[in-house]
Amino acid sequence: MHIPSIVPAAGLAIASSLCAGAASAADYVIDPTHSFVEFRVQHLGYSWLYGRFNVVEGGFSFDAADPAANRIAVTIDTTTVDTNHAERDKHLRSADFLAVDTHPKATFESTGYSGTADKGVLSGVLSFHGVEKAIEIPVVKVGEGPDPWGGYRAGFHGTYTMTRSDFGIDFDLGPAATTVQLELGVEGIRQ
C-alpha cells in the first residue's frame, strides 16, 4: 500500500510506531494532536530530564490480515524540542546537540514489520542529525475503532533507546547520559 507523503516535519526518533490492526489494509494520516515523540535522559545521573518534540506528522498503512505489509513514514520537526525550560531548549537546538539550523527535521521510514496484529517489531531507517541508521522499534497496538466525528482511528505505542554518539551527538553530559529513551505514540485517521 502507498504511504501518504506528508509534511517535512515531525524524531526522533524518533520515532514512531506501527503495528497492525484494521479488518483490511488501509492508509492512515497521523493525527499530530494525538501523536507524540517524548524522551528522557539522565541528568548528571541524579534524576531524569523529560522532553518532547511538539510537531510529529506522517502516515501509515496497516493490515491485520497481512501484518508484514504494514508501513509507516514519520517526520519530526526538531526545532520544536520542548523541555519546559527556554534556555535549555535553546541549547538543545544548538550545534552541541540537535543543530536545528542544519538538521531541522528527523525522519523514520519503515522497511519491515515482524509480529502479530497486536504487537511486534518495526524495522526501518532513522535519519537524525544528518545520520541514517537502521533501527528496530518494539510496538504494540493500543486500539482502533470509530471516533465521535464519523472517522476511524488506530493507535500504536513504541519505544526506542538511542545512543547519542551513534548520531554524532557527543556533548559530554556524563556517563549516565550516553543514551536517550524515546517513547512514541502514534494515532492515525483512516483515509
Domain containing residue 144:
26-190
Question: Structurally, how many domains does the chain consist of?
Answer: 1
Is residue 19 a contact partner of residue 67, using CB atoms and an 8 Å limit?
yes
The rounded distance, in Å, linking the Cα atoms of 72 and 94 is 29
Q: Which domain CATH number covers 167?
A: 2.40.128.110
Tens digit of pLDDT for each residue in 123-143? Answer: 999 999 999 999 999 999 999
Q: How confident is the model at residue 164 (pLDDT cuts 50, 70, 90)?
A: very high
Is residue 98 a contact partner of residue 81, using CB atoms and an 8 Å limit?
yes
Quote the pLDDT of residue 19. Answer: 38
Burial of 43: CB neighbours in 10 Å, binned 0-12, 13-18, 19+: middle
Tens digit of pLDDT for each residue in 1-35? Answer: 334 433 333 333 333 334 333 347 899 999 999 99
Is 5 among the domain residues?
no
Q: Residues of the chain with pLDDT > 70: what percent?
A: 87
H or E stretch covering 87: helix 86-93
Quote the pLDDT of residue 118. Answer: 94
